[in-house]
Amino acid sequence: MEAEEAEEVEVEVDGGLLAPVRAGTRVEALTSDRAWVRAMLDAEAALARAQARAGLISGEAAALIDRTAAALTVDPADLARRSRQSAGPVAPLVSDLRQAVSRAGPQPVTQGVSQGGSGEDVARLVHLGATTQDILDTAAMLVATRAVAVITADLDSLLALLADLAQRHRTTVMAARTLGQHAVPTTFGLKAAGWLTGVLRTRDRLRAIPLPAQLGGAAGTLAALVEATREPTPAGPAREEPCGGTAGGKAVRGKAVRGEAGRENADRPAGDREVAAADSPQRAIALVAVYAEELGLAVPLAPWHAERSVVGELGAALTGTARALGKLATDVILMAQTEVGEAAESSQGGSSAMPHKRNPALSVLIRSASLQVPAYAQALAQAGEHERGAGAWQAEWAPLRECLRLTGGAAETAVELVGGLRVFPDRMRANVDLTGGRIVSERLAAHLDKNDLRTLLDQDAPLDIPRDALDPDAPQDLLDPAGYLGAAPELVDRILAAYRERP
């Protein structure tokens, strides 16, 4: 009996059903499967452009690869299924790109200049000198760069909102709470300024992380590129590297590689001519910088296939950002409790069972993200095996995306939260008075006998201190919480000044 054909499983797009904090956000779109495929194609196109600038392939060949990569549409679900044979999506994607370039065929002669050989010839140049990890790591850095740009823009908007909130409530008295209990008076402005300092620090850290291109070849030695930059020699048998050192599994030394490249050299910028004129190892190293420039990424000191601190640092920065946003959200959740009532969100926050409720939904979304990102980040930059991780590297891909998605969703949601946050100063003041003056007990300790103070605090009534029980230097407003704010307003000023001085 013949085996029955396996039914094709319908693949649905993950729209964030279980992670609504990122659903519909800009970062979600920038980290989607299609965005990752586009980033990998962008990396392949940039590699061809860089090789043309270095004189390794003709400009026409690079242009054909570039155009084809830009126009190529790939079904991510189908690519994922085909990726199971190579443990990653690059090999099948390179095959798709080569086929598309081959089908594109020779381009017409324009102004007497050859277009760099047939489509089949040019197809062999796709992925020249690169390996799977070069393309996927570079794509990861492109996706991260694009996502981080949006995250930091949202953080900029959030900082402006927090600065305004801190300024407006610079002297708004409220109870500081330690271990969940009233402590001493503070101001809501200082609380908002505290949120601001956390967001500011993490934004600066996220901005400062250099995200480099990756190009090292099969094992990080650039050997295939060094070999490709040597003077042409008769083509010989090729090694079988469908996504590795040679172009398409064949040694390519024909017109598409060099036939036009030499004549183009005089028209290149001086820096590109220097790259083309260098000896093979230096030329290959210089090509990495050109590649990074084409992509708008940082230039690596050396290939970082096995040295994963770049990814670890990015994960740590995203974790710090998520935690800073989570602190803000957690405070709002507590302030919005029914019995506290010091703040409320603009969200409807409805309940499926209790019509009277108005839950702090935005804060809940942000806090959920802040609790998840550290867990995902733990999987990043694990110690891999020799020159390519066999599992450790592959384990980074999904957690990195989730770190970007969740942090980006939290940042965008935080802008909405703070932009619509309702603050109730009268309720804050009423809560300060709940303990009948005991909130200034620290101040009283400086002006009352210790035993007398204990007796007063133990009474089940608001504090009423006879003037003759106080030392002569005791201030008249001893029990007024607004008179015991310490340097809270001045600290707000200091934080805001530091914020305004930052670029």
**Element spanning 377, H or E:** helix 361-377
Q: 79: how many CB neighbours lie within 10 A of its CB?
A: 18
Taken in order 187, 189, 192, 194, the sign of the CA dihedral is negative
Token pair of 78, please?
């189908």
Gap between the Cα atoms of 162 and 185, Å rounded:
21
Residue with tokens 């959030």: 158
The C-alpha R_g of the chain, in whole angstroms, comes to 31
Q: Token digits for 315?
A: 């994960």
Q: How far is CA 375 from CA 192, 330, 371, in A?
A: 27, 18, 7
CA gap 479, 153 in Å, rounded: 44
Which helix (H) or strand (E) covers residue 196, if one does? Answer: helix 188-208
d(CA 60, CA 62): 5
**Closest to 26 measured CA to CA, from 115, 154, 125, 134:** 154
Phi, psi of 182, rounded to the nearest 5 degrees: -60, 135
Q: CA 138, CA 128: separation in Å to the nearest integer?
A: 15
Which of 29, 27, 25 lies closest to 13, judged by CA? Answer: 29
Task: State how far the Cα of 132 lies from the Cα of 139, in Å rounded to an integer.
Answer: 11
Nearest to 78 by CA among 96, 99, 102, 101: 96
| Local structure of 212: helix, strand or coil | strand
CA gap 174, 433 in Å, rounded: 9
Catalytic (active-site) positions: 351, 388
497 vs 279: CA distance, rounded Å: 53
Partnered with residue 175 across adjacent β-strands are 185
What is the secondary structure of 208-240 as a DSSP string? Answer: H---B-----TTSS-HHHHHHTSPP----PPP-
Residue 471: CA count within 13 A, CB half-sphere = 11
